[in-house]
């Protein structure tokens, strides 16, 4: 496994439940050339990390993973945008040391 792959997987593994990062966030933190590089790593090695916590910059999921990914994110209490089909990136984006989403954010899923 190369150093970029190892850094990417370590960062994805560190994302706590209820939080997300975008492919671009991870690319910027790991030195990837493009966010697609992050997607390639997850496609080949993602089974060992919480891949569902990585979303597009607008909080949406890749179409081929959407149903499964949204279900996993909802189970973790990830805050969603009003549409219910994308993560609310303002509330859900993880920054190291940030507290998990507040309980009221998690309950907004059911409104």
The CATH number assigned to the domain holding 94 equals 1.10.10.10
Name the pLDDT band for 72 (thresholds 50, 70, 90).
Answer: very high
Domain count, the chain: 1
pLDDT (tens digit per residue) in 13-56: 999 999 999 999 999 999 889 999 999 999 999 899 999 999 99
Distance of CA 88 to the CA centre of its chain: 11
- Residue 110 confidence (pLDDT): 41
Residue 1 has pLDDT above 90, yes or no: no
User: What is the domain range of residue 11?
Assistant: 3-110
What residues are paired with 22 via a beta bridge? 55
Q: What is the DSSP letter of 100?
A: P
For the chain, what percent of residues have pLDDT higher than 70? 86
The residue ranges of DSSP E strands in the chain, in sequence order, are: 21-22, 54-55
Residue 62 has what pLDDT? Answer: 87
């Amino acid at each position: 496994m190369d150093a970029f792959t190892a850094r990417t997987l370590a960062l994805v593994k560190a994302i706590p439940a209820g939080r997300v990062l975008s492919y671009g966030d991870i690319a910027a933190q790991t030195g990837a050339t493009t966010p697609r590089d992050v997607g390639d790593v997850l496609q080949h090695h993602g089974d060992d990390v919480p891949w569902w916590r990585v979303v597009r910059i607008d909080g949406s999921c890749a179409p081929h993973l959407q149903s499964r990914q949204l279900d996993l994110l909802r189970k973790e209490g990830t805050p969603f945008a009003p549409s219910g089909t994308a993560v609310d990136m303002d509330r859900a984006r993880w920054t190291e040391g940030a507290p998990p989403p507040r309980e009221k954010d998690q309950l907004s899923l059911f409104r």
